[in-house]
């Protein structure tokens, strides 16, 4: 036997052992401090803990400025003609972007949209030096039972807009014994919530902010729904405060830790061994397809995890640039085949006005830069506290949707969520489930919470 063969034979068991340890190891639950995230100049002052009513009421100056910019961008010839026949293949198609811009400038009426947004009450309160914004929908008791508190968390590039249609379906569901009291915050740095003044505000730290918010509202125990980053924050909430979270529903159950990635690799490579019965119907992409899809679609993630402020500067100054950058995701993340269409299939499942509402939340608050920073804080493993590989025993309902960017096999999350009550992969719907198919998601979440 040659030396090289001996070395290889020695390395194989070490590699297998390493993977085995990684896949089976569990970390303890860390303690998370109630930290201060505001500017240094305010630190140490007594925090005003009142909950203040808030109304979305954007000044005429901001709207006039937007109109001026949009007019100039649409009149100029600086938009570059797309290559022939590529649809959305090189990014947001600039011909369709003109359609979006013209609608925004001439048909979209912010004051009407603002009224719609204000039909459910908004509040702000200071937590850890940050102004935290949330919608609070408090229905009446049902059959003499007080509504059950439920926090609903959005992600990127979304906002509270994603949840406007699902509000009545969750707060006063028809086929349920209960009503649900909804708390729908803007994540720190997103929309109407202020961003941290220094590095470190990752998903665990956000979970801590929301635990403090629920405490302040008098809810020691509550239910949770989350999508995208909101799903990770929900999972972090359940992990660090297992006694507070009574149950959680997510269309994007995922484990971003080393174990999660390893298990995902194993499950996709040796499907016949690791597939759960619930996944049989789903058409998994091959490894090659998965890899090329991830490379094609994850450039934004790398930029935002490393240089969020650079691209943020451009996006904060150009409304058409911002719309293209945000709305592109609602195409490919809803249905990956729509990349071939000239309009990205955007109006297939969404209204132009509601897509623009979401862009407006970022535009009027100038929050795209602070929002993107979550990728720097949330994805770099050495920054801040990470509980991706710490298991949680809180009951979870994992409702994967087949049009999503990634569909995660049950095996790749079952070490993290040790009490998955239901797992399924549904054919209809993509990444923005509550926005795209609100009645399906609401019925699913409510039937799950009712069962607890
Ligand atoms: C994506 O769109 C194609 C073509 O319209 C359709 O056949 C397919 O079912 C859609 N996928 C999902 C997950 O909705």
SS3 119: coil
Predicted confidence (pLDDT) at residue 2 exceeds the cutoff of 90? no
Percent of the chain with pLDDT over 70: 96
- Assess whether 154 carries a catalytic annotation: no
In a domain, 70, yes or no: yes
Question: Among the options 163, 228, 236, 249, which is catalytic?
Answer: 228
pLDDT band at 401 (very low <50, low <70, confident <90, very high): very high
Predicted confidence (pLDDT) at residue 257 exceeds the cutoff of 90? no
> Is any atom of ligand 1 closer than 6 Å to the C-beta of 337?
yes
Here the CATH number for the domain that contains residue 144 is: 3.40.50.1820
Query: Rounded mean pLDDT of the chain?
Result: 93
Cut 0.75: pTM above it: yes
> Is any atom of ligand 1 closer than 6 Å to the C-beta of 345?
no
pLDDT of residue 344: 98
Calculate mean pLDDT across residues 222-251: 97
Least confident of 98-102, 198-202, 425-429, 448-452: 425-429
In a domain, 311, yes or no: yes
Calculate mean pLDDT across residues 398-415: 92
Percent of the chain with pLDDT over 90: 80
> Is any atom of ligand 1 closer than 6 Å to the C-beta of 283?
no
Q: Which residue's alpha carbon is nearest to atom 4 within ligand 1?
A: 337
pLDDT of 106-150, one tens digit each? 999 999 999 999 999 999 999 999 999 999 999 999 999 999 999
- Assess whether 228 carries a catalytic annotation: yes
In a domain, 363, yes or no: yes
pLDDT of residue 19: 66
In a domain, 22, yes or no: no
In a domain, 333, yes or no: yes
Predicted confidence (pLDDT) at residue 273 exceeds the cutoff of 70? yes
Q: Which residue's alpha carbon is nearest to atom 12 within ligand 1?
A: 403
pLDDT of residue 288: 85
> Is any atom of ligand 1 closer than 6 Å to the C-beta of 402?
yes
| Ligand 1 atom nearest residue 427's Cα | 13
| Ligand 1 atom nearest residue 402's Cα | 13
**What is the residue-wise DSSP string for 181-200?**
EEEEEPPTTSTTSPPPSSS-
Calculate mean pLDDT across residues 369-394: 87
In a domain, 385, yes or no: yes
Any alpha helices (H) in 380-437, and if so which ranges?
433-436
Predicted confidence (pLDDT) at residue 383 exceeds the cutoff of 70? no
pLDDT of residue 25: 67
pLDDT of residue 22: 63
For 352, phi then psi, to 5°, come to -55, -45
In a domain, 325, yes or no: yes
Give the distance (Å) from ligand 1 centre to CA of residue 430. Answer: 10
Predicted confidence (pLDDT) at residue 436 exceeds the cutoff of 70? yes
> Is any atom of ligand 1 closer than 6 Å to the C-beta of 403?
yes
Question: Among the options 178, 375, 399, 444, which is catalytic?
Answer: 375
- Assess whether 108 carries a catalytic annotation: no
Report CA-CA distances (Å) from 106 to 102, 182, 328.
6, 34, 21
Give the distance (Å) from ligand 1 centre to CA of residue 107. Answer: 29
Cβ distance 248 to 207 under 8 Å? no
For 254, phi then psi, to 5°, come to -150, 150
Calculate mean pLDDT across residues 325-349: 97
Note the residue count of the chain. Answer: 452
**CA 124 – CA 351 distance, rounded (Å):** 28
pLDDT of residue 12: 78
pLDDT band at 217 (very low <50, low <70, confident <90, very high): very high
**CA 392 – CA 401 distance, rounded (Å):** 22
Rounded to 5°, the CA angle 408-258-269 comes to: 50
Q: Which residue's alpha carbon is nearest to atom 8 within ligand 1?
A: 335
In a domain, 4, yes or no: no
Residue 82 structural domain: 40-451
Cβ distance 159 to 358 under 8 Å? yes
> Is any atom of ligand 1 closer than 6 Å to the C-beta of 93?
no
Indicate the number of domains in the chain: 1
Cβ distance 66 to 319 under 8 Å? yes
pLDDT of residue 276: 86
Mutate to test the pocket of ligand 1, among 88, 337, 343 (most ligand atoms within 8 A of CB): 337
């Amino acid at each position: 036997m040659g030396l090289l063969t001996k070395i290889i034979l020695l390395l194989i068991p070490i590699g297998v052992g390493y993977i085995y340890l990684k896949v089976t190891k569990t970390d303890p639950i860390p303690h998370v401090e109630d930290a201060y995230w505001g500017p240094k100049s305010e630190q140490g002052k007594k925090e005003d803990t009142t909950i203040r009513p808030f109304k979305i009421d954007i000044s005429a100056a901001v709207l006039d400025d937007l109109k001026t910019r949009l007019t100039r961008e649409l009149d100029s010839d600086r938009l570059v003609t797309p290559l022939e026949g590529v649809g959305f293949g090189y990014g947001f198609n600039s011909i369709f972007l003109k359609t979006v811009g013209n609608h925004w400038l001439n048909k979209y009426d912010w004051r009407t949209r603002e009224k719609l947004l204000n039909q459910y009450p908004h509040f702000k309160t200071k937590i850890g030096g940050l102004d935290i914004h949330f919608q609070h929908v408090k229905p009446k008791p049902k059959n003499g039972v007080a509504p059950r508190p439920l926090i609903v968390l959005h992600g990127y590039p979304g906002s509270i807009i994603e949840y406007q249609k699902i509000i009545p379906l969750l707060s006063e569901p028809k086929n349920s014994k209960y009503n649900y009291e909804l708390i729908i915050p803007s994540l720190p740095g997103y929309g109407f919530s202020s961003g941290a003044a220094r590095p470190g505000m990752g998903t665990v730290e956000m979970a801590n902010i929301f635990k403090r918010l629920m405490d302040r509202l008098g809810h020691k125990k509550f239910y949770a729904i989350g999508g995208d980053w909101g799903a990770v924050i929900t999972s972090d909430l359940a992990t660090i405060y297992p006694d507070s979270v009574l149950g959680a529903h997510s269309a994007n159950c995922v484990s971003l830790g080393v174990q999660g990635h390893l298990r995902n690799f194993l499950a996709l490579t040796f499907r016949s061994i690791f597939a759960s019965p619930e996944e049989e119907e789903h058409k998994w992409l091959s490894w090659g397809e998965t890899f090329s899809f991830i490379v094609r679609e994850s450039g934004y993630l790398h930029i935002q995890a490393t240089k969020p402020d650079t691209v943020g500067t451009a996006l904060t100054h150009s409304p058409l640039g911002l719309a293209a950058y945000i709305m592109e995701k609602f195409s490919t993340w809803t249905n990956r085949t729509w990349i071939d269409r000239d309009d990205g299939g955007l109006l297939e499942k969404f209204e132009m006005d509601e897509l623009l509402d979401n862009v407006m939340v970022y535009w009027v608050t100038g929050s795209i830069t602070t929002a993107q920073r979550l990728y720097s804080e949330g994805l770099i493993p050495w920054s801040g506290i990470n509980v991706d590989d710490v298991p949680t025993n809180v009951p979870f309902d994992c409702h994967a949707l087949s049009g999503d960017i990634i569909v995660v096999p049950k095996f790749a999350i079952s070490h993290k969520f040790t009490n998955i009550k239901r797992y399924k992969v549904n054919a209809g719907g993509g990444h923005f489930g509550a926005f795209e198919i609100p009645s399906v998601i609401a019925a699913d979440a409510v039937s799950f919470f009712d069962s607890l």
